[in-house]
């Protein structure tokens, strides 16, 4: 049976792992290769790297980091942050990424996702949707949660899935960094709307939150950063808990 995936996320800036609370208060949390090896040993199913300070000058640092990680761990790697063009995707895949996550650029140029899926295959294209509750619905935000777009997040996720994105990385801006759990209604609404895989993100503080994202939120995978980074739980502890709840995981 297909296992639900547990994905530790590493926010990186200038080649270092960092972690912020609600996209501010960035603190340094270590070396990306060391972190990747640690998660590999713990049995992580995939790794996601998000370059939160993506700038033109730091691209080579990011490519170098991806190559180095890919030489040390043999599992799927998703990389995102500052991806604007087909060339960026090609460079990241060439550096050793298996999937590339597109966020802001998809909002400005939705066709980029279509072209990327045609050229590199749906399974390599992830669209990151950063959503925040506005009145009775959720709205997409860009630039790391700073700029509203007026676009309905559920409709947007469906459009991106229809354009060929193989996966939607869905982050609740309200929940992110709070450790109060995923936004379950948001996760469920997107999971029901799209044919692409859905990765729930933002807000995990306990193992119950992971289970809720997979069961009530109907996500295919759950992503978390802090609880794994700071050693609150190991990946193995998380998987053992999920298995005990009857959720299929790879132990």
Partner 1 sequence: MIGLINYGMGNLHSVAKALEKAGGRVEPVDDADRLKDYDRIVLPGVGAFRDCIGALQETGMDVALKESIDSGKPFLGICLGMQVLMDVSCEFGSYRGLGLIPGAVKPFPEQHPERGFKIPHMGWNDVVLSSEKQPHPVLAPLAGNQVYYVHSYCCMPQNPDHLLGVCSYGDYPFAAAIGRDNMVAVQFHPEKSQRAGLALLEAFLQWHP
Annotated catalytic residues are: 11, 130
Pairwise CA distance, residues 82 & 61, whole Å: 13
Q: Is 132 in the site for partner 1 (CB under 8 A)?
A: no
Q: Is 96 in the site for partner 1 (CB under 8 A)?
A: yes
Q: Is 216 in the site for partner 1 (CB under 8 A)?
A: no
One DSSP character per residue, 125-158 reads EEEEEEEEEETTEEEEEETTTTEEEEEEHHHHHH
Q: The dihedral of CA 5, 192, 171, 243: what is its sign?
A: negative
Going by the DSSP 8-state scheme, the letter that residue 197 receives in this structure is: E
What is the pattern of x (binds partner 1, CB under 8 A) and - over residues 3-42? xxx----------------------------------x--
Residue tagged 């029901």 (tokens): 192
Token output for 154: 């559920």
Token output for 22: 């609600």
What is the pattern of x (binds partner 1, CB under 8 A) and - over residues 145-164? --------------------
Q: Is 135 exposed, middle or buried (0-12, 13-18, 19+ CB in 10 A)?
A: exposed
Neighbours of 150 (CB within 10 A): 7
What is the pattern of x (binds partner 1, CB under 8 A) and - over residues 49-88? ------------------x--xx-xxxx------------
According to CB under 8 A, which residues from 168 to 207 bind partner 1?
A: 192, 194-197
Binding residues for partner 1, total number by CB under 8 A: 35
Neighbours of 148 (CB within 10 A): 12
Out of 144, 166, 202, 203, the residue judged to bind partner 1 by CB under 8 A: 166
Out of 11, 51, 88, 167, the residue judged to bind partner 1 by CB under 8 A: 167
Q: Is 237 in the site for partner 1 (CB under 8 A)?
A: no
Looking at the Cβ atoms of 72 and 146, the one nearer to partner 1 is: 72
């Amino acid at each position: 049976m297909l296992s639900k995936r547990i994905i530790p996320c590493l926010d990186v800036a200038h080649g270092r792992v960092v972690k912020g609370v609600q996209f501010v208060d960035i603190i340094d949390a270590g070396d990306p290769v060391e972190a990747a090896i640690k998660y590999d040993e713990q049995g992580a199913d995939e790794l996601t790297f998000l370059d939160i300070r993506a700038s033109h000058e730091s691209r080579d640092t990011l490519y170098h980091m991806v190559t180095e990680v890919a030489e040390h761990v043999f599992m799927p790697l998703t990389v995102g942050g500052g991806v604007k063009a087909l060339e960026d995707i090609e460079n990241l895949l060439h550096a050793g990424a298996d999937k590339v996550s597109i966020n802001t650029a998809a909002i400005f140029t939705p066709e980029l996702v279509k072209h990327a899926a045609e050229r590199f295959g749906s399974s390599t294209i992830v669209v990151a949707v950063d959503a925040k509750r506005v009145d009775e619905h959720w709205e997409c935000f860009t630039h790391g949660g700073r700029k509203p777009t007026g676009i309905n997040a559920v409709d947007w996720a469906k459009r991106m899935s229809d354009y060929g994105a193989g996966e939607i990385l869905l982050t609740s801006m309200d929940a992110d960094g709070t450790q109060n759990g995923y936004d379950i209604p948001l996760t469920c609404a997107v999971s029901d709307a799209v044919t692409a895989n859905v990765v729930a993100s933002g807000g995990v503080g306990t193992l119950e939150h992971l289970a809720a994202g997979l069961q009530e939120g109907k996500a295919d995978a759950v992503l978390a950063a802090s609880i794994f980074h700071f050693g609150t739980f190991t990946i193995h502890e998380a998987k053992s808990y999920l298995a005990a709840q009857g959720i299929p995981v790879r132990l």
